[in-house]
């Protein structure tokens, strides 16, 4: 492609939180010119991830990813964020990869480029490119390592004097300490404590309520937290822990709970999938829960499908009015913040044996990605309603 004025590619905003949309615009192309838009990211594990879509410039020589149709590639149609959520490891990569941000103090860097043509574009020098920064931590968010009273984790505090509502954030089995969701929640105005409860030193005996109760008190008693405005957010195994704590603990009384890819059922005396027990000889009696609950589930969850109907159990206990539920056809188990890539199957390390296996999580890329975007918006609305909306609750942001 030769022309007097070279193509220009812009990403607006070039620096944003990961749950914010951007606009990708290419200008100064010939009218009716076939091009490929490509995103490329190198993970902290040194693996390359990419997405691409095939476009044709309009009569002005412009391609707008937000407005124009992709005619092929990793996504089709009008998909403003398709260059992110459709990302996959580049051909020849290791099998079973999963993309997760480890160091939330640095951005996820995504190089976005435009190439001439629709075939063989990787072999051509880009016509233009731009770098996008995607952040989990907003400016001013504080990150604090917690290792006190036997509890380990990471605390994130929003900018401003507060006090703020807060969340105890728990991931599932095999996840270890992950910080990116808590960092994003703090960026949205919540003190968030990402709790590490799966380390080996915690597994020499049954995990006791005391560990979680101590963690809950650490966040509740923090000077920048509104003590009666603390909720719990759990994913997978973390959601089962959230149910148990809310139902049985005399100390943990959350204002609300959010459970993602949840399984509420724990047969008496059984061992959970992570290889340890949260409770002995108890089932989750949801009728004991007295706070609002939001359940988020994918209908194609191949890893941990719901065993019983939560609504029925709550109805039998007279608590159905506390339940809000989001069920997404075509979505799988790993429901992440918006625009995260979809992983149908990834490597998983079994906690006790350290054996590496490939686990099937389920989901199909487009409906799963739509579910991530929609559920995150509704999770934030649910938290706003139950943790912020009160005449006596006003954080100084």
Rounded to 5°, the CA angle 213-218-220 comes to 90
User: What's the CA gap between 254 and 242, in Å, rounded?
Assistant: 10
User: What's the CA gap between 296 and 324, in Å, rounded?
Assistant: 9
Q: Which residues is 63 bridged to in the sheet?
A: 26
Give the position of tokens 């996840």: 175
Catalytic residue among 54, 222, 264, 333: 333
User: What's the CA gap between 193 and 346, in Å, rounded?
Assistant: 26
Q: Is 392 a catalytic residue?
A: no
Question: Tokens standing for 14?
Answer: 């070039």
Residue of 39, 47, 38 lying closest to 133 (CA atoms): 39
Residue 25 C-alpha from the chain's centroid: 27
The upper half-sphere exposure of residue 54, i.e. CA atoms within 13 Å in the direction of its Cβ, equals 11
User: What's the CA gap between 312 and 80, in Å, rounded?
Assistant: 39
Q: Is 43 a catalytic residue?
A: no
Structural contact between residues 19 and 57, judged by C-beta atoms closer than 8 angstroms: no
* C-alpha gyration radius of the chain: 23
Give the position of tokens 């009273």: 149
Question: Tokens standing for 230?
Answer: 């603390």
Structural contact between residues 294 and 324, judged by C-beta atoms closer than 8 angstroms: yes
Q: Is 340 a catalytic residue?
A: no
Catalytic residue among 236, 239, 262, 375: 236
User: What's the CA gap between 263 and 240, in Å, rounded?
Assistant: 6
Structural contact between residues 1 and 28, judged by C-beta atoms closer than 8 angstroms: no
Structural contact between residues 173 and 198, judged by C-beta atoms closer than 8 angstroms: yes
Residues that are catalytic: 236, 301, 333
């Amino acid at each position: 492609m030769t022309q007097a004025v070279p193509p220009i590619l812009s990403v607006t905003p070039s620096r944003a939180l990961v749950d914010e949309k951007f606009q990708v615009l290419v200008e100064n192309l010939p009218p009716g010119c076939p091009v490929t838009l490509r995103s490329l990211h190198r993970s902290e594990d040194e693996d390359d991830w990419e997405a691409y879509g095939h476009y044709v410039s309009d009569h002005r020589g412009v391609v707008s990813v937000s407005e124009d149709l992709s005619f092929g590639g990793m996504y089709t149609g009008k998909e403003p964020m398709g260059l992110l959520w459709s990302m996959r490891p580049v051909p020849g990569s290791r099998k079973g990869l999963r993309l997760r941000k480890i160091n939330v103090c640095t951005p996820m860097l995504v190089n976005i480029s435009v190439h001439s043509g629709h075939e063989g574009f990787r072999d051509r020098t880009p016509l233009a490119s731009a770098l996008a920064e995607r952040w989990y931590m907003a400016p001013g968010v504080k990150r604090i390592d917690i290792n006190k009273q036997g509890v380990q984790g990471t605390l994130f505090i929003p900018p401003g004097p507060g006090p703020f509502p807060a969340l105890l954030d728990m991931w599932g089995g095999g996840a270890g300490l992950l910080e990116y969701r808590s960092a994003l929640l703090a960026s949205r105005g919540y003190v968030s404590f990402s709790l590490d409860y799966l380390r080996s030193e915690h597994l020499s005996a049954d995990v006791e309520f005391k560990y979680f109760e101590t963690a809950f008190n650490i966040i509740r008693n923090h000077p920048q937290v509104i003590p009666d405005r603390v909720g719990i957010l759990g994913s997978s195994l973390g959601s089962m822990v959230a149910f148990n704590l809310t139902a049985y603990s005399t100390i943990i009384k959350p204002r609300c709970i959010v459970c993602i890819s949840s399984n509420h059922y724990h047969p008496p005396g059984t061992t959970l999938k992570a290889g340890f027990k949260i409770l002995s000889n108890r089932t989750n009696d949801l009728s004991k829960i007295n706070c609002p609950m939001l359940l988020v589930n994918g209908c194609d969850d191949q890893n941990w499908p719901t065993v019983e109907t939560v609504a029925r159990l709550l109805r039998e206990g007279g608590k159905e009015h506390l339940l809000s539920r989001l069920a997404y056809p075509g979505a799988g188990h790993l429901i992440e913040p918006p625009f995260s890539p979809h992983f149908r199957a990834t490597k998983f390390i079994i906690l006790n044996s350290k054996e590496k296996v490939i686990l099937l999580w389920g989901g199909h890329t487009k409906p799963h990605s739509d579910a991530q975007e929609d559920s995150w918006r509704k999770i934030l609305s649910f938290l706003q309603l139950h943790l912020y909306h009160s005449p006596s609750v006003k954080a100084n942001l």
